């Protein structure tokens, strides 16, 4: 049997984690006076409440080699195989921790994949891998599919508030003030495992329109896809985006989730994102 291992930054809905038996290892969020395991000691709702009350942004800590070692040993001792699909190595040492654990065990039944992504976008790779494992695909077939998806997946993040970017040192006070004044909504994407700015729009409605226009202008075929949409404590905005997607495109499946504590630290409240494969409509 093949077991899929992920970290909590994948932001996969709990029902899918349970149904597909995905092993999720939590990162840690550190407020000034207390640390919490992402999604274990602190829910997303509790996190955003604490975040709103905290004058400083919390810090985050990676999954340790020892934590991976324990899980890898438990799985392989039963004779099962491991495919660990983890958040971008450009943004966390979690992937390297897993590589260290694998090397310590020296077990050929363990594969570790750098998703080069974050949050539910990377979570789609995990979900696909877990579904394939449950349906009896081989390790090679699963890894080939994940590699293909990793190269094709698009990440589009709409940041609602610039406050966290300012607190985190990514914007100065003047930029944050002007952004708030003009109702600027930055749109970010992933390139080579890093978050990069793609566009700036004014207002939430224009942000959704920009996303729809981007998909249309690039002639993306969503008809046979599972796409992901998630949000930072603003389900109504995420549902607005999902409704707009259904009105404009024929989509096979939409997975909706909340961002966890780690992603919420950087995205701030009110953010939404959409993830899909960049596959073109046949001409």
pLDDT digits (tens, 9 = 90+) for 21-65: 999 999 999 998 899 999 999 988 899 999 888 888 899 999 999
pLDDT of 167 strictly over 50: yes
| Token digits of residue 57 | 């942004």
The pLDDT of residue 166 is 59
The pLDDT of residue 283 is 44
7/263 Cα distance (integer angstroms): 12
CA atoms within 13 Å, Cβ hemisphere of 81: 18
| Token digits of residue 273 | 């994102």
Averaged confidence pLDDT in the chain: 91
Kindly give, in sequence order, each residue whose CB lies less than 8 Å from that of residue 50, ignoring residues fewer than 6 positions away: 31, 42, 58
**Residue 168: pLDDT band with limits 50, 70, 90:** low
The pLDDT of residue 16 is 98
The burial class, CB within 10 Å (0-12 / 13-18 / 19+), for 251 is middle
pLDDT of 107 strictly over 50: yes
| Token digits of residue 205 | 């409605």
pLDDT tens-place string over residues 206-256 = 999 999 999 999 999 999 899 999 999 999 999 999 999 999 999 999 999
280/161 Cα distance (integer angstroms): 32
The pLDDT of residue 84 is 98
Query: pTM of the prediction?
Result: 0.93
Percent over 90 (pLDDT), the chain = 74
SS3 percent helix, strand, coil of the chain, rounded to 5, is: 45, 25, 30
Indicate the Cα dihedral angle 125, 130, 135, 140, nearest 10°: 60
Helix (H, G, I), strand (E, B) or coil at 181: helix
279/218 Cα distance (integer angstroms): 9
Residue 258 · residue 233 · CB < 8 Å: yes
Kindly give, in sequence order, each residue whose CB lies less than 8 Å from that of residue 233, ignoring residues fewer than 6 positions away: 44, 45, 48, 258, 259, 264, 269, 270
The pLDDT of residue 280 is 78
The pLDDT of residue 177 is 47
Tell me the mean pLDDT in the region 160-184. 59
Question: Does residue 151 come out as left (phi exceeding 0), alpha (psi in the -120 to 50 range) or beta?
Answer: alpha
State residue 132 phi and psi, 5-degree precision.
Answer: -65, -40
pLDDT of 178 strictly over 70: no
Residue 188 · residue 171 · CB < 8 Å: no
**Residue 169: pLDDT band with limits 50, 70, 90:** low
- Cα–Cα nearest to 84, from 10, 13, 14: 10
pLDDT of 164 strictly over 70: no
1/142 Cα distance (integer angstroms): 13
- CA 123 from centre of chain: 6
pLDDT tens-place string over residues 247-282 = 999 999 999 999 999 988 888 889 999 999 998 765
Tell me the mean pLDDT in the region 122-139. 98
Kindly give, in sequence order, each residue whose CB lies less than 8 Å from that of residue 196, ignoring residues fewer than 6 positions away: 188, 189, 190
The count of other CB atoms within 10 Å of the CB of residue 29 is 26
The pLDDT of residue 184 is 77
């Amino acid at each position: 049997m093949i077991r899929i291992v992920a970290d909590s930054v994948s932001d996969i809905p709990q029902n899918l984690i349970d149904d597909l038996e995905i092993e999720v290892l939590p990162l840690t969020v550190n407020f000034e006076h207390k640390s919490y395991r992402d999604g274990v000691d602190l829910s997303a709702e509790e996190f955003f409440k604490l975040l709103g009350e905290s004058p400083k942004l919390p810090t985050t800590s990676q999954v340790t080699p020892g934590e991976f070692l324990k899980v890898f040993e438990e799985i392989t001792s039963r004779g099962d195989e491991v495919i660990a699909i983890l958040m971008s190595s450009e943004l966390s040492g979690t992937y390297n921790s897993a590589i260290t654990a694998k090397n310590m065990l020296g077990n050929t039944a363990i594969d570790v994949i750098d998703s080069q992504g974050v949050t539910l976008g990377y979570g789609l790779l995990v979900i696909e891998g877990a579904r394939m494992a449950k349906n009896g695909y081989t390790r090679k077939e699963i890894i080939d599919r994940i590699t293909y998806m990793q190269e094709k997946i698009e990440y589009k993040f709409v940041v609602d508030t610039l406050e966290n970017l300012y607190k985190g040192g990514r914007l100065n006070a003047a930029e944050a003030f002007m952004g708030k004044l003009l109702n600027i909504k930055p749109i970010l994407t992933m390139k080579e495992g890093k978050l990069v700015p793609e566009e700036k729009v004014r207002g939430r409605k224009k942000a959704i329109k920009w996303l729809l226009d981007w998909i249309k202008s690039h002639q993306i075929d969503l008809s046979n896809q599972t796409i992901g949409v998630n949000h930072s404590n603003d389900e109504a905005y995420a549902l607005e985006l999902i409704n707009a997607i259904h009105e404009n495109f024929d989509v096979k499946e939409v997975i909706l989730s909340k961002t966890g504590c780690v992603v919420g630290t950087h995205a701030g409240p009110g953010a939404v994102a959409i993830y899909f494969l960049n596959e073109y409509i046949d001409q």
